[in-house]
Amino acid sequence: MAAYSDSSEMIRIATAGSVDDGKSTLIGRLLYDTKSIFEDQMDAVEATSIQMGAEHTNLALLTDGLRAEREQGITIDVAYRYFATPKRKFIIADTPGHIQYTRNMVTGASTADLAIVLIDARKGVLEQSRRHAFLSSLLRIPHLVLAVNKMDLVDYDESVFEDIKSEFRDFARKLDVADLTFIPVSALHGDNVVNRSENMEWYGGSSLLHHLEQVHVASDRNLIDARFAVQYVIRPQATEHHDFRGYAGRVSGGVFKPGDEVVVLPSGFSSKIASIQTADGPVDEAYPPMSVSITLDDEIDISRGDMLCRPHNQPRVTQDIEAMVCWLSEASSLQTGAKLAIKHTTRWARAMVKDLQYRLDVNTLHREEGATTLSLNEIGRVTLRTTLPLFVDEYRRNRETGSFILVDEATNATVAAGMVLSP
Amino acid sequence: MSDTPVTPSAASPVVERPTTNYGLDHLRTLESESIHIIREVAAEFERPCLLFSGGKDSVVMLHLAVKAFAPARPPFPVMHVDTGHNFPEVIEFRDECVDRLGVRLVIASVQDDIDAGRVAEQTGPRASRNQLQTTTLLRGIEEQRYDAVFGGARRDEEKARAKERVYSFRDEFGQWDPKNQRPEVWSLYNGRHHQGEHIRVFPLSNWTELDIWSYIEAEDIVLPSIYFAHEREVFSRDGMWLAVTPAVTVMDGEIPQVRTVRYRTVGDASCTGAVDSIAATVEAVIAEVAASRVTERGATRADDRASEAAMEDRKRVGYF
């Protein structure tokens, strides 16, 4: 494992793919070639490969294999892998794509900076590739990489790669993808995974790892709309800090500085930031994703679930929410008229499903109007009415203040993930 | 999507993007994520507690809990599941640590469960109290009516842990059901549960062993001395150096010798091995960890060697 440099960034990656497209092999290759696999892990993989009668050490086994999965023939929805180079620390949320793809991908990719969608060069752009790309754009993952894999099996032919590229670009025009990159690879042989391939001189771009190390993610955060949801009020009992009242939370957007005028929602009271505190002392500014506590000039009644923002840039305060929701529960389905618990930032409320406007076919992007329910893996546009006002931004503008979950009040299960749209 | 055109909302006039580079390095990003998780739990649960063994991960977790509520103290106690087979240096460290930080320590003792006949002690030279800890842990949670229990487990440690959520729901028997986990999206944690159920919370989920050590260095965190190279009487068993302590029986053919070793993990003395090392400082340990070719659990934990699914099986019945 490589040691870090002093200021290495962290980047979250989501991968999606099916059993056959070589995703596990690709991840295994990234881990192996960056020396992130340990000998005891490799020994276990080799032993299992031999036991299964495989010809080569199966790198895919590095990412598979709970007993529950083997015995019941299921795949746990998301597994996390970690590796690092001197430039960056990587978190990979690895989601199987063949079953329950929507639920899996939403679970693994909601916070991703970058998604890798794999395409088998022999098969071209399949329905599943489109689905994964669509979900990446729905979740607003800022960077999308199309890894065209198994180039070795098409003789490293440039025209195969170019055809896939243009076909995919046509489709991607219908989506909202800010940054799309195509990389021809062979995960099995390592071409263009860590090092540039000698078999594809025609390819002028970066290797996959080089791209992952270079892609600019710091500017993906919203630094314009100042949003701070209060998580917890810190009031020390000790006499030395008797008057301290800090509003603890994590910045969801914008930049806060001492002296800034702020408005508290829902009360609408305003005050000025007296200081921004951390355990290491006060700081000059706070921006996403910093966890801090804010003290104000005035004593105002503020509690968990309230939000601090700037007077001239406020989220929408509303009990009527338009949203795309992904239904994640096997046991139940979304019905109009249903009442559910809703969690948005640090605020819980109850929500009633007023209307299901349409269900979206994730393969064709066709809107099925007249649909009355959403079941597992289905996505639709809904109107909700909540018991308390929520302070929302459009999801496309802020992934934190634009997202929510719905929870079944009887079972406590998380049944849906929602993304706020403009009214 | 096509029905959501890019239009800045009315309340959001266009402001120029600041030109400075607002970024956090990976350790500060991890720290902020962990603090966010710890504060969510303190805000939403009635009776949280933090599992504290004196091992490096629980020390880092407690350090983060202290930072999360500064200048106040963490609003929950810490619990140690005490096998009675501890390294004395670690117990001393534990007591000094809770004193210094002003947190309340609750001890759940495996010996109590043995004495009460709730568990039977293993016999023979390879006897370990590792398995028995689960009963004690669950009893501690039940007796104290804890509804959220912070654990220092990391996803990079072991493949069962790689698939566990930050908020890990446990039924009234403390069981983990890997195929029936709640979806965990964005940072919207769902801690709702019925009475008798609880949530295990893992604020260090996304940290690696190297992250932990880098953070220990950056924050100047004090650890038990056994994490650094020292001389100790050990013997070789199953390819590990086990310490000669009252908790283990040295068998025929096992030859005790004094070696310079350190511990990469701290668990029950009967099943935690030391590694040969001359790393006497945090800096030297980081260099060693960065160059290591064996995982920390692989190198030092007999409890994981029982079978390929040892950790998974123990987790399912309520282990850490």
CB pairs under 8 A between A and B: 231
Pairing of strands A114-120, A9-17: parallel
Positive or negative, the CA dihedral A135, A137, A140, A144 is: positive
Mean per-residue pLDDT over chain B, rounded: 87
Percent of chain B scoring above 90 in pLDDT: 57
For B155, which residue in chain A has the nearest alpha carbon?
A: A80
Structure confidence at residue B7 (pLDDT): 36
| Cross-chain Cβ contact A111/B21 below 8 Å | no
Distance between CA atoms of A271 and A365, rounded to whole angstroms?
46
Mean per-residue pLDDT over chain A, rounded: 89
Distance between CA atoms of A221 and A50, rounded to whole angstroms?
46
- Region A388-405: what's the mean pLDDT? 97
User: Which of the four pLDDT bands, split at 50, 70 and 90, describes residue A320?
Assistant: very high
CA nearest to B198, candidates B224, B218, B169: B169
Q: What is the pLDDT of residues B59-75, one digit of tens each?
A: 999 999 999 999 999 99
- Region B109-134: what's the mean pLDDT? 85
Q: What is the pLDDT of residues A102-122, one digit of tens each?
A: 888 888 899 999 999 999 999
| Cross-chain Cβ contact B30/A328 below 8 Å | no
User: Which of the four pLDDT bands, split at 50, 70 and 90, describes residue B8?
Assistant: very low
Q: Tell me, which fold does domain B26-210+311-316 have in CATH?
A: Rossmann fold (3.40.50)
User: Which of the four pLDDT bands, split at 50, 70 and 90, describes residue A7?
Assistant: low
Q: What is the pLDDT of residues A329-352, one digit of tens each?
A: 999 999 999 999 999 999 999 999
Structure confidence at residue A358 (pLDDT): 97
- Highest mean pLDDT: which of A18-22, A77-81, A173-177, A271-275? A271-275
User: Which of the four pLDDT bands, split at 50, 70 and 90, describes residue A34?
Assistant: confident
Using the predicted structure, report yes or no on whether residue B9 has a pLDDT greater than 60: no
Q: Which residues of A128-155 are buried (b: 16+ CB within 10 A; e: fewer)?
A: bbbbbbbbbbbbbbbbbbbbbbbbbebe
CA B177 to chain centre: 20
Structure confidence at residue A68 (pLDDT): 64
Asked if residues A92 and A115 have their Cβ atoms less than 8 Å apart, the reply is no
Asked if residues B174 and B139 have their Cβ atoms less than 8 Å apart, the reply is no
Chain A residues in contact with B73 (beta carbon < 8 A): 236
Chain A residues in contact with B181 (beta carbon < 8 A): 76-77
Q: Structural domains in chain A?
A: 9-218 (3.40.50.300), 227-309 (2.40.30.10), 316-420 (2.40.30.10)
Q: Out of B192, B289, B308, whose CB is closest to A44?
A: B308
Using the predicted structure, report yes or no on whether residue B2 has a pLDDT greater than 60: no
Q: What is the pLDDT of residues B225-278, one digit of tens each?
A: 999 999 999 999 888 899 988 878 888 888 999 999 999 888 787 888 899 999
Structure-block tokens of residue A83 = 């590796």
Is the pTM here over 0.90, yes or no? yes
Helix (H, G, I), strand (E, B) or coil at A82: strand
| Cross-chain Cβ contact B72/A237 below 8 Å | yes
Positive or negative, the CA dihedral A246, A250, A252, A253 is: positive
Task: Parse chain B into domains and list their residue ranges.
Answer: 26-210+311-316, 221-306
Q: 3-state SS of chain A: helix, strand, coil percent to 5?
A: 20, 35, 45
Chain B residues in contact with A137 (beta carbon < 8 A): 1
CA distance to A178, B82, B122, per residue, from B11 (Å) = 24, 56, 67
Interface residue B102 vs chain A (CB under 8 A): no
Chain A residues in contact with B66 (beta carbon < 8 A): 279
Q: Give me the interface pTM, i.e. the ipTM.
A: 0.93
Greater confidence (B22 vs A151) lies with: A151
User: Which of the four pLDDT bands, split at 50, 70 and 90, describes residue B189?
Assistant: very high
Chain A residues in contact with B42 (beta carbon < 8 A): 232
Helix (H, G, I), strand (E, B) or coil at A283: strand
Q: CA of B116, closest CA in chain A: separation in Å? A: 33
Q: Which amino acid is at B135?
A: T
Structure confidence at residue A65 (pLDDT): 59
Structure confidence at residue B5 (pLDDT): 36
| Cross-chain Cβ contact A346/B290 below 8 Å | no
User: Which of the four pLDDT bands, split at 50, 70 and 90, describes residue B157?
Assistant: confident
Lowest mean pLDDT among A27-36, B93-102, B293-302: B293-302
CA nearest to B41, candidates A403, A346, A417: A346
User: Which of the four pLDDT bands, split at 50, 70 and 90, describes residue B161?
Assistant: confident
| Cross-chain Cβ contact B290/A1 below 8 Å | yes
Q: CA of A335, closest CA in chain B: separation in Å? A: 20
Using the predicted structure, report yes or no on whether residue A72 has a pLDDT greater than 80: no
